[in-house]
Amino acid sequence: MKRAVVPPSLHVRRIWRAFFILLALIAVTTTSVRAAAQPVTGRYTGRVIGREVTFERNGKLVNDWSGVLNLQLDSGENIPVFCIEVDVLVRPGDRYRSDGPVQVLPNGCKIRYLLDKYPASSAKTTDEAAARQMALWVFSDGIDLTTITDTTTFVRDRATTLVKEAQSAPCPPVQAGIPDLTLEPAIADAAAGQTVNYTVRAGAGGAGQQVSVAISGPALLANGQQQANVPLDAQGNGVFAVTGTGAGSTAVTVKLPYQLQAGTVFSHINDSRKTQRLVSAAKQLLSALATSQISWAAATPTETPTPRPTARPQEKPHEQPTPEATASAVSEQTATPEAAIEQTATPEVAAPQTAGSAGPQQPRSLPRTGAAADAPLWPVVGLAALLCGCGWRLLRRARR
């Protein structure tokens, strides 16, 4: 069976179609990544204040530690947190990322109210810290406070009071989250003396605020310094420019202060190592960061073109009379008056000079000895014929 021959033009169309589909997929993927908010990441380091509490869980008595925990962010800050997933273990070193406001979870409004009204910093005793954690577990995991069997009733009674207060309280509003701070371009290459224009975007979390810009290396901002504040518009966007002053590299850092609200949920990062969900127990002042790198190449020196001498027009040499003609003219000028009269009277004497006369005839102008000889045309014709032949053979091969 003879195989169908696919025209080359069809191959080209298929290649271009696949190319544009690939570009579209890349654009969609890039947009999805840009739209995701930047998470705050950190690791659990241990307990802060609290105590062991015995209570009933799933028909069994359990003894669990209840109180304030510590989460150390990758940026260095320590924030107090509570647990809101009692049946899952947490171990020092477990990694976490921010995961939105607690209001989106079941009974999240009640949890947020307790965190706003009773932040971790105000828990001065182990019993108070334990009672606040037990009240949160009522809303996140359904703990029954009446099953607490401690020798003292403070934790049970205090937790019961907190739960009743939260149940009748209004839901706190969801405040602006973590700014999604980005800097464009992320990497740039330019020559010394050129300017790189930047766009910083912070989204709704940075609307109406200002970012601080700091640069290093051989570069300056528009104010002639290496630090400046850039205002953000109502959409959270701002622009600034960096100008290179020499060869080298420049680090560009943009910082936006913001407040991490109490009630920010932190979930595990590693799906293969699940750890209990945490929630921030106090407001914390943090800064969102975005960075970029510029490589400056040495400026290319500007060469002053050397003026070319103007060609002087070629002058035709003046016709110089031959010695014979000069002598003849002299003799004619010095002739006696009688001879002049005789020449005037007899015009036959002034007849034109023939080829056999003694003085050679002078040409109207001298030949051009400085001009190049005309190039032959056969190499050009041969090259054109060779190109035509190659093109004809390629066309025949493409049509087969």
Boundary residue ending a domain (276, 297, 318):
297
Q: How far apart are CA 277 and CA 104, in angstroms?
A: 14
- 28 lies in a domain? no
Which has more pLDDT, 325 or 48?
48
- 23 lies in a domain? no
154 and 190 belong to one structural domain: no
Residue 47 pLDDT greater than 60, yes or no: yes
- 246 lies in a domain? yes
What integer pLDDT is reported at residue 304 of this predicted model? 62
Residue range 274-324, pLDDT digits in tens: 899 999 999 889 988 999 999 999 987 766 666 666 656 555 555 555 444
**Region at 181 (left for phi over 0; alpha for psi -120 to 50; beta for the rest):** beta
What integer pLDDT is reported at residue 225 of this predicted model? 96
What integer pLDDT is reported at residue 7 of this predicted model? 55
127 and 232 belong to one structural domain: no
227 and 119 belong to one structural domain: no
Residue 54 pLDDT greater than 60, yes or no: yes
123 and 58 belong to one structural domain: yes
Place 191 in a pLDDT band, splitting at 50, 70 and 90.
very high
70 and 156 belong to one structural domain: yes
187 and 145 belong to one structural domain: no
What share of the chain has pLDDT > 90, as a percent? Answer: 54
Q: How far apart are CA 250 and CA 294, in angstroms?
A: 5
Boundary residue ending a domain (135, 167, 199):
167
- 232 lies in a domain? yes
Residue whose pair of structure tokens reads 């002034």 in the numeric block: 350
What integer pLDDT is reported at residue 259 of this predicted model? 87
What integer pLDDT is reported at residue 45 of this predicted model? 96
156 and 186 belong to one structural domain: no
What average pLDDT does this structure show over 234-256? 95
What average pLDDT does this structure show over 71-90? 94
What average pLDDT does this structure show over 148-173? 92
Residue 368 pLDDT greater than 50, yes or no: no
* Residue 349 CA from chain centroid, whole number: 99
What average pLDDT does this structure show over 34-59? 85
- 387 lies in a domain? no
49 and 148 belong to one structural domain: yes
Q: Which residues of 133-143 are buried (b: 16+ CB within 10 A; e: fewer)?
A: bbbbbbbbeeb
88 and 163 belong to one structural domain: yes
Residue 167 pLDDT greater than 90, yes or no: yes
**Which pTM was predicted?**
0.61
Residue range 127-144, pLDDT digits in tens: 999 999 999 999 999 999
What share of the chain has pLDDT > 70, as a percent? Answer: 66
65 and 143 belong to one structural domain: yes
48 and 137 belong to one structural domain: yes
What integer pLDDT is reported at residue 361 of this predicted model? 44
- 330 lies in a domain? no
Domain of residue 205 covers 182-260+286-297
Residue 10 pLDDT greater than 70, yes or no: no
Residue 199 pLDDT greater than 50, yes or no: yes
| Cis peptide bond upstream of 367, omega within 30 | no
Average per-residue pLDDT in the chain? 78
Q: How many domains does the chain have?
A: 2
Which amino acid is present at 273?
R
154 and 63 belong to one structural domain: yes
- 329 lies in a domain? no
